Amino acid sequence: MDFTEEQTRRYARHILLPEIGGTGQARLLAARVLVVGAGGLGSPLILYLAAAGIGTITVIDDDTVDLSNLQRQVLHTTSRLGQPKVESAAAAIADLNPDVRLVPLRTRLTAANIDALIADHDVVADGSDNFDTRFLINDACRRAGRTLVSAAIRRFDGQLSTFRADGPCYRCLHPEAVAGGDGPTCANAGVLGSVAGTLGTMQATEVVKEVLGIGESLSGRLLRYDALKATVSIARLHRDPACPVCGDHG
């Protein structure tokens, strides 16, 4: 594509990278990414995807901005307390990058709407905070053959992985929900705000890599981050032959 002078200046640091260049930047501008959740992970994720020039970002979230969110959800502001998070996200992105079309969906992700949503996007980024939603997203991405980049945080820790159609899926990592619910969450156990920023930013990087087809994917690998120890570790993930979604059943 032909860039305007403003776009050439905006994306100059990308265009200088041989791994991206003008062709890669055009691919980013043509990409469609579905982001589930505009909270702690979704905030830095959406901001960096928009700054990178991802052309269409659909954000699904049914919550409103609360004062307790602002410790980590940097997409939102005090002046937008009480607003739907997707509307707050749209306002922030309109200010950041007019090249980006942010589609705000103030609703919950359900079995009734997920397949149509995923089919319309290239990559799905999961920033949700419960197993039911994560399983729903994983299963739909597998059915549609879409790449899923999934992150999670709690207290001082986080984890991140990419699930491609030809690799292990999220249920290979977590076969079932934690007994008695989702276990400790940010709401009941707390979280260091900057950990959300760290993992959400890493998640944005992995989404961009998948769109561009560059670097080494996190498919088949699990990244774990421990903020208190200042360590990052990588573990191998293998497809579970007994997995109900991608295993050897049927």
List of long-range contacts for 15-21, beta carbons under 8 Å, 24+ apart: 19/212, 19/214, 19/215, 20/212, 20/214
* Of residues 126, 242, 131, 244, the one with CA closest to residue 178: 131
Which residue numbers are catalytic? 186
- Rounded CA Rg of the chain: 18
Token pair for 58? 């659909």
Measured torsion, CA atoms of residues 117, 123, 127, 132, in degrees rounded to the nearest 10 = 50
For residue 178, the 8-state DSSP code is: P
